[in-house]
Amino acid sequence: MGVYYQLACTWCGQYISFGKKLHRKGHDMLQGLYSEEQHEWMRDERAFQVLQAFLLQHEGHQLTFALDNTKEAQEYEAMDIDSLLKQTS
């Protein structure tokens, strides 16, 4: 399965997942944000819109960017990427 990277709000216990770290074209990158509705990894401006929606929703909160294989991270709840994207349109 692999290890996934997530941006989590430690105060709310919610996170968005950026998928696995990939090595492409000589550098590391993250898969992106996965859309269940579109069945694809988003790595374009939609991913930035989702990131902005998450950051604004958790403004002033303590955030952490970490791997999902820690005990603490496994207790967080995934936010719906598609719902966050709809908030931006």
> Tokens representing 42?
């988003």
**CA 9 to CA 57: how far, in whole Å?**
10
Residue extents of the structural domains in the chain: 5-87
% of the chain with per-residue pLDDT over 90: 82
- Is the pLDDT at 9 greater than 90? The verdict is yes
Read off the amino acid at residue 80: D
- Residue in the structure block whose two tokens are 């349109």: 89
What's residue 37's pLDDT?
96
DSSP 8-state class, residue 32 = -
What's residue 1's pLDDT?
62
Q: Decide: 9 and 18 in contact? Cβ < 8 Å.
A: no
| pLDDT single digits (tens) 26-61 | 999 999 999 999 999 999 999 999 999 999 999 999
Average pLDDT (62-72) is 89
What's residue 70's pLDDT?
83
What's residue 41's pLDDT?
96
How confident is the prediction for the chain on average, in pLDDT?
Answer: 93
